[in-house]
C-alpha cells in the first residue's frame, strides 16, 4: 500500500473558454488551457504542490503542448486570466502543519502566562518543576508549595530526581506524592530561580 508519494492532477480552467488557435490542425479557438499539478500526498491527502506547469490541449486534434512549447501569444492569453487556479485543498498538509504549529505555540504562550501568574501569586499545592544541570545533563525534580508567607515560600521537596523531561514525566506518574523534606526559600530567591530558568513550569490543581 502506498501511504505517501507524489500524484499528479490535471486542472482545467473553470470557465472552459478557448485561449487560442491550433497551429497544428489550424482550427480556430480550439486551444484550452490546463494546469498540470504535481503534489506530495500522505494517505492521499495532498500536502503541497511542488510543481505546476501550464499545458494547452487542442480540442480538435488533441495535440498537447507543454508550457515551453506553447506559442508566446497563447501563453500570454493563458497567463492573463486563463490559468486554472490550484485549489487550496492541494495545500491541506501545509495548512494543517501551520495550524498544529500555531496551536502548539498558543499552548506554549498560555502555559508561560499561567506560570508567570502562579509565580506572582503562589498558593499551597502548586507544583514547581525544578531543573538543575549536572555534567551536561538536565536533572529535574518537583517542589510542592506547603506554605506561603509575605516573603518566603516553604516547599515540600520530592524525594526523587529524574533525568530529562521524559524521566520527569515518569517521576510525576510514579513518585508524584513522595515528599519528605522541606525547604524554605525567600520569594526573591524563587524569582531568581525562575529568571535563571531553573523553574520550567508551575502547575495548579
Ligand atoms: Zn489542433
17 CA to centre of ligand 1 in angstroms: 15
58 CA to centre of ligand 1 in angstroms: 5
Q: In the predicted model, what is the mean pLDDT of the chain?
A: 89
3-state helix, strand, coil in the chain (%, to 5): 35, 40, 25
9 CA to centre of ligand 1 in angstroms: 22
Checking if the pLDDT of 141 tops 80, the result is: yes
Burial 84-113 (b: 16+ CB within 10 A, else e): bebeeebbbbeeeeeeeeeeeeeeeeeeee
Can you give the pTM of this predicted structure? 0.56
Q: How confident is the model at residue 153 (pLDDT cuts 50, 70, 90)?
A: very high
What residues does each domain of the chain span?
4-95, 121-203
Question: Phi and psi of 104, rounded to 5°?
Answer: -65, -45
Amino acid at each position: 500500500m502506498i501511504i505517501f508519494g507524489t500524484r499528479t492532477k490535471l486542472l482545467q480552467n473553470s470557465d472552459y473558454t478557448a485561449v487560442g488557435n491550433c497551429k497544428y490542425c489550424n482550427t480556430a479557438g480550439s486551444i484550452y488551457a490546463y494546469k498540470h499539478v504535481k503534489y506530495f500526498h500522505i494517505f492521499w491527502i495532498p500536502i503541497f504542490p511542488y510543481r505546476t506547469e501550464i499545458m494547452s490541449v487542442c480540442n480538435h486534434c488533441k495535440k498537447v503542448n507543454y508550457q515551453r512549447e506553447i506559442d508566446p501569444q497563447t501563453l500570454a492569453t493563458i497567463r492573463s486570466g486563463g490559468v486554472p487556479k490550484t485549489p487550496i485543498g492541494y495545500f491541506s498538509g501545509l495548512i494543517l502543519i501551520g495550524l498544529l504549529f500555531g496551536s502548539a505555540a498558543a499552548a506554549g504562550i498560555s502555559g508561560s502566562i499561567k506560570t508567570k501568574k502562579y509565580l506572582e501569586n503562589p498558593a499551597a499545592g502548586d507544583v514547581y518543576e525544578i531543573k538543575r544541570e549536572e555534567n551536561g545533563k538536565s536533572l529535574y525534580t518537583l517542589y510542592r508549595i506547603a506554605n506561603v508567607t509575605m516573603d518566603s515560600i516553604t516547599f515540600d521537596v520530592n524525594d526523587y530526581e529524574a533525568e530529562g523531561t521524559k524521566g520527569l514525566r515518569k517521576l510525576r506518574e510514579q513518585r508524584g506524592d513522595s515528599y519528605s523534606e522541606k525547604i524554605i526559600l525567600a520569594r526573591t530567591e524563587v524569582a531568581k530561580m525562575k529568571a535563571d530558568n531553573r523553574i520550567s513550569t508551575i502547575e495548579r490543581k
